[in-house]
Every structure is written in C-alpha cells, then in structure tokens.
C-alpha cells in the first residue's frame, strides 16, 4: 500500500481508537518504568548483601586471628518444615523417669542372635544368675542345647555338663568420659518415658568347666608327686625370712584387683522370665507419674555449635 493510501485510510480512524492506542502506550511506558526500578532495587540489594558478607568475613577472620572461636549463624523457623521430603508426621511429649534408675542394668549377648533370646517360651530361659556386687561381675546359667553338635562323651568327661554359663563385667554409664549413656524408653498413650541405665554388661560364654577339669588333673598329679617325695630321703633346708621393709615383690594394682574379685563370694539373684507377671509389673515402674515439663537450657544454635566442634 502506498503512502497516499495509508494517509487516506488514516482518515477513517476514529477518535476512540486513537485514545485506546494512547492508553496502551501509557501502560507500556509505565510497565517499562516499573521494571527498570525493580532492576535497580535488586542490583542495589545484591551490592549491599555482598558488602555485608565481605564485612562479616573480615570480622570472622580478625576474630580467628585473635584466637576467638567462630560461630555458625543459623536461622531457624519453628513453623517451617526444614525438609519437605521428610515431613514430621507426629510429635509427642518425653518424660524423664528415675524411679528405678539405680537398679536398671543392661545385659548384652554379643555371641547370640537377637532372634533367639533366653526365654522360657523357646526352652532357653535363664536357670539361675549371680553377681559379685563389689566388683560388678555377673553370670547367668542357661540350658545347654543338645543339637547335632552336642558331644555326649565330653559332657560326661566334664561331670555330665548340661548348662552353659555366660559372664561379664558391668561398666557404669553416665560418667565423665563414658559415651555409653543408654536409656530405656517406654511408649504408651502417645507419651515417651525414658529411664537411664546404670550399667551395661556384655555376657560371653565362660569355660570354667574346662578349668575345673585341668585343675583336677593337676591336683591328682600333685598328690602322686607327694607320695613319691615321702619315699625319698629327708634333707635339711635352710630357711631365711625377710622383714616387711625389704624389697619384696608386691602385688600390682591389677593383680590386687583380680585377687579381690576372686575372693569375693557370689550373691544369688532371683531371675524372672521376660513373659512372667513379675516382669510386666516391674515394667510399669518405667513410666513416671510426675509429668513435670522439662525446660531446655540449650538453644538450637548452641546445640548445632556443639555438633560441629
């Protein structure tokens, strides 16, 4: 179309159309101005944030050079889920119980599968138990399995052995430097009750029946040697004694401790099976009746700082 034709056609444009075009032009210019202002504000904010980060970095560097500890700044929003892929599905209160904490001990059996516990239902229940309270030594007796690997001849040699003994030493929990701070938890009525464990003992198979057999053989051999010595001619022997102040060998601390443990007598302990009424009754004491709310004296920032040390 020629310029003349465009000019002629322009004569047919109404004032309403012209006003609409002017309005659209004003809106376009306003949008461009708004976009320009937002870009300038974003650029200014980025520059300010960069300057602030550089200032914090310089401050942290100066503190590190002065020997001051660095801290991690963490913003925590309690109402916001930190990980949307792993949401919190339930919250429940936790109560601390110390009713039987001084008498709660954990026995572990490292050489036995958790699928086969020592319970009467499996005919492997504990027959008897004993402990040396001063030295923390514990032992339990369980029935000896008469499976395909049972050797009846050796059992007869060891005085018809029909039980197996597991023993170990109790290690106290909740002491300075001890990381074995275990607790027992009971979940009931959407509440978690935790009770600290006083000690842990790992019980492993004991072979005292072998030691007794060897000791019996030694005693028989010594008795035979004494009979032979009586038939020999007596000889005079000069005996000398040293005073207590002499440099006589003394027991070391380890030997003295072992000697004290050997001399301490065992105390029999009454054992209840896992599924008996007495055990369930004792389990009720693992739940506290004093539901006092505990206030944490550690902030989330301090807790995370301890983790990253």
Contact 92, 191 (CB under 8 A): yes
Report the number of distinct structural domains present in the chain. 1
Residue 128 lies in a domain: yes
CB atoms within 10 A of CB 140: 24
Mark 29-43 as b/e (b = at least 16 C-beta within 10 Å): eeeeeeeeeeeeeee
pLDDT digits (tens, 9 = 90+) for 46-91: 878 877 777 776 665 555 454 443 333 444 445 455 677 888 888 8
Q: Which pLDDT tens digit goes with each residue over 18-42?
A: 778 888 888 888 888 888 888 888 8
Give the length of the chain. Answer: 309
- Give the whole-angstrom CA distance, residue 110 versus residue 170: 14
Cβ(100)–Cβ(92) under 8 Å? no
Q: For the residues 282-301, what does the mean pLDDT come to?
A: 82
pLDDT-derived band of residue 257, with 50, 70 and 90 as boundaries?
Answer: confident
pLDDT digit string, tens, across residues 210-243? 766 666 666 666 666 666 665 555 566 566 665 5
pLDDT over 90 at 203, yes or no: yes
Residue with tokens 């197996």, as numbered in its chain: 164
Q: Is residue 231 a part of any domain in this protein?
A: no
Q: Which residues contact 171 (CB under 8 A, 6 or more apart)?
A: 136, 178, 180, 199, 200, 201
In a domain, 92, yes or no: no
- Average pLDDT on 155-182 reads 80
List of residues 6+ apart from 30 with CB closer than 8 A: none
Q: Please, which pLDDT band fits residue 6 given cuts at 50, 70 and 90?
A: very low
C-alpha 233/C-alpha 18 separation (Å) is: 146
DSSP β-bridge partners for residue 94 = 192
- 167 assigned to some structural domain: yes
- 91, two tokens: 């919250």
**pLDDT category of residue 272 using cuts at 50, 70 and 90:** very high
What integer pLDDT is reported at residue 252 of this predicted model?
A: 75
Has residue 269 got a pLDDT over 60? yes
Answer yes or no: is pLDDT of 149 > 90. Answer: no
- Between 291 and 285, the more confident residue is 285
* Cβ density class 201-232: b for 16+ within 10 Å, e for less: bbbeebeebeeeeeeeeeeeeeeeeeeeeeee
Quote the pLDDT of residue 5: 46
Q: What is the pLDDT of residue 70?
A: 39
What string of DSSP letters covers 193-232? EEEE-SEEEE-EEE-HHHHHHHHHHHHHHHHHHHHHHHHS
Q: From CA 101, how far away is CA 183, in angstroms rounded?
A: 9
Q: Which is higher by pLDDT, 307 or 73?
A: 307
Looking at the domain assignment, is residue 177 inside a domain?
yes
In a domain, 14, yes or no: no
Residue 118 falls inside a structural domain: yes
pLDDT at 262 over 90: no
Domain span at residue 212? 101-183+198-223+264-282
Identify whether 205 is part of a domain.
yes
For the stretch 89-98, pLDDT in tens is: 888 888 888 8
pLDDT band per the 50, 70, 90 thresholds, residue 197: very high
Res 200 pLDDT > 90: yes
Residue 7, both tokens: 């000019």
| Dihedral angle computed from the Cα positions of residues 214, 219, 223 and 228, in that order, rounded to the nearest 10 degrees | 50
């Amino acid at each position: 179309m020629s310029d003349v034709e465009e000019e002629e056609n322009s004569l047919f444009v109404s004032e309403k159309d012209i006003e609409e075009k002017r309005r659209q032009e004003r809106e376009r210019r306003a949008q461009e101005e708004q976009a320009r202002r937002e870009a300038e504000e974003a650029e200014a904010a980025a520059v300010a944030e960069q300057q602030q980060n550089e200032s914090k970095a310089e401050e942290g560097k100066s503190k590190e050079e002065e020997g001051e500890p660095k801290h991690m700044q963490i913003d925590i929003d309690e109402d916001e889920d930190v990980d949307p892929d792993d949401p919190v599905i339930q919250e429940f209160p936790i109560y601390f119980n110390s009713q039987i904490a001084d008498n709660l001990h954990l026995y572990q059996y490292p050489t036995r599968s958790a699928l086969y516990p020592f319970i009467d239902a499996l005919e492997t229940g504990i027959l008897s138990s004993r402990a040396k309270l001063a030295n923390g030594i514990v032992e339990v007796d369980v029935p000896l399995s008469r499976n395909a690997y049972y050797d009846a001849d050796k059992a007869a040699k060891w005085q018809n052995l029909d039980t197996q003994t597991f023993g170990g030493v109790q290690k106290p929990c909740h002491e300075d430097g001890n990381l074995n701070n275990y607790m027992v938890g009971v979940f009931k009525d959407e509440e978690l009750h935790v009770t600290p464990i006083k000690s842990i003992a790992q019980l492993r198979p004991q072979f005292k029946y072998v030691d007794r057999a060897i000791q019996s053989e030694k005693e028989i051999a010594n008795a035979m040697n004494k009979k032979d010595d009586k038939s020999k001619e007596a000889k005079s022997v000069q005996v000398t004694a040293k005073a207590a102040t002499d440099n006589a060998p003394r027991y070391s601390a380890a030997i003295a401790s072992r000697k004290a443990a050997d001399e301490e007598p065992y105390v029999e302990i009454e054992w209840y099976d896992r599924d008996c009424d007495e055990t369930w009754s004792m389990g009720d004491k693992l739940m506290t009746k004093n539901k006092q709310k505990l206030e944490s004296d550690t902030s989330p920032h301090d807790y995370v700082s301890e983790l990253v040390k």
